[in-house]
Amino acid sequence: NQYSALDLSGKAVEAPWMRAWPGHALWHCVNNPAAREGYLNYVKDQVDQGVKDLQRDDPTMNYHATRWGACFCKHCMDGFRAYLAEYAPVDVLRRYEIEDPSAFDYAEYLRGRNAPVGDDFAKYPEDDLKRLFIAFQEQSTIEFHRWWRRELNDYAGRHVSVSSNNGAHDFGPIHSLFDCYIGELSYSRAQPETLHDIARQVERLGKGQTVTMPLRRDAEETREWIDTTRRTIATVYALGMHIEAPWDTYLPVRDAARPPRYFGKPEDYSDLFAMVRARATLLDGYEAAAANGGLIDEDRWTAETTPVTVWSASTRVVAFTRALPGKADAPIVVHLVDWSKSPQPFTVSLNPDARFAGRPLDISLVTPKPYDRQRHVAAFETGEYASLVEETSLAAGHVTTCQVPPLRPWGLLVLRPLAGREGIWPPRFAAVDHQGAPAVRLLSPEPGATLRFTTDGSDPGADSPVYGEPIPMESCREIRARSYQGGRASPASVLGHLPAVGQGAKSLLANGDFSQGTDNWRRVVSRPA
């Protein structure tokens, strides 16, 4: 108890998820002088042993402990008295009949009102005093981290980099004190949309984010979980973040006496990490330019201006376009990840105006080869990983659409500029709403060109209909289009993987049946009102 956060009864508290573990994992109080000294001596010893960087798990400390009814030790009560004297509004002190904050004991006040102890303290009404107490514990935690990091840097004579476990979702004032994040990713948050939101958040903060594999709570390792982990690995790299290899990783399995560790099999994951090594030059230094697909909310581009549009019947293919800043001729890389259970071919539409100053393209697709133990061992020993991926040419020239084969689950669409050549750009496609229904808009990279199209699978000719307004997607399975200008015709753009429309909710009443099952659903837990 001499170092731990204490509840109202004076009992040391433990984090709920640690209580089933053997032994005790008591919660350190940031206001306890002896605990602070012990903590500082510990991290100094780490530096003495040659440690360069540190990871701080559960950095919310006293602030987090307020959920379990802590900390009410004498050091916290002394600190809270000083906090009230400095920050409590006069009308709040008057309302609670606190004439002298320096003589007020919040723990005694709560005990006199039979406030619940431990976890049940969360049910105690959040009145002004409780809100001030929580704010005090948050400020105490912030001050503690600033103090020990400052002391440690002075001791080491350098900046000691420290990451925090933010759970890949907490970007609040406590976590913002740390250099970067290494967070445990919950299974429910392993979705492309959520991962995209995380990446945008850390981008705004100017920090880096590493995540674990999606942490399942069931002991059984299923094929579905392995596939979700594979999609997460691909998406995390596609977003410019990092992911720990699924190896020796803590699993929060329900009711486990000893938390199990997960050791992934090479045949399940090695092909993806091999592609990272084999094509590191297409990842290192690249920054986000655009995102498309699924339910991703992209605010940097409109449907008409976005560099890349994904057309897939499953609506679960996502594309993350990345480029090297300041290097106009460097390849642009579009990370394509298929989150569907049954991958199918799909179409990518490209905007010539958004890259390489409208120059023609060479388009190829890089994918990992299936795992082969002998080849992977040889690559590891030699450091040569190029043989573990395959690069396939898809198209070249004035191209605005290309067809992509099924991905399991990841491919790199590599766009390289070609030397200028004569030619005319074909139309490209944008998804829009027209008269209240999904439709396809044809856009011309050639000013003044006439656009002609077909929807019956035949190539458009000089007598085909002239495009005038968006083409309804309903009952339309393929669109082909050409640009005509000055007696010249472009190659045909082919949109062959239109998403099915008109098959949304079958019924909100009869059995709650949806045609897409629970795709794109996320488990959300909110606090009681």
- Token digits for 54? 């540190």
From residue 50, how far is each of 43, 55, 348, 363 by CA, in Å?
11, 15, 50, 47
Q: Residue written as tokens 């000089």? A: 462
Which of helix, strand or coil describes residue 67? helix
Evaluated on CA atoms 246, 247, 250, 256, the torsion sign reads: positive
Helix (H) or strand (E) holding 389: strand 389-397
Distance CA 174, CA 167 (A): 13
pTM: 0.89
pLDDT tens string, the chain, 529 residues long: the values are 789 999 999 999 999 888 877 777 789 999 999 999 999 999 999 999 999 999 999 999 999 999 999 999 999 999 999 999 999 999 999 999 999 999 999 999 999 999 999 999 999 999 999 999 999 999 999 999 999 999 999 999 999 999 999 999 999 999 999 999 999 999 999 999 999 999 999 999 999 999 999 998 887 889 999 999 999 999 999 999 999 999 999 888 877 677 788 999 999 999 999 999 999 999 999 999 999 988 898 888 988 899 999 998 877 999 999 999 999 899 999 999 999 999 999 999 999 988 888 889 999 999 999 999 999 999 999 999 999 999 999 999 999 999 999 999 999 999 999 987 778 999 999 989 888 889 999 999 888 899 999 999 999 999 999 999 999 988 788 999 999 998 899 999 999 888 766 544 333 444 444 444 555 565 555 554 4
Q: Measured at the alpha carbon of residue 287, what is the angle toward residues 282 and 292, in degrees to the nearest 5?
A: 95
Distance CA 342, CA 346 (A): 12
What one-character-per-residue DSSP string does 146-197 give? Answer: HHHHHHHHHHHTS--EEEE--TTT--STTGGGSSEEEEPPBGGG-SHHHHHH
Distance CA 473, CA 3 (A): 66
Helix (H) or strand (E) holding 90: helix 90-95
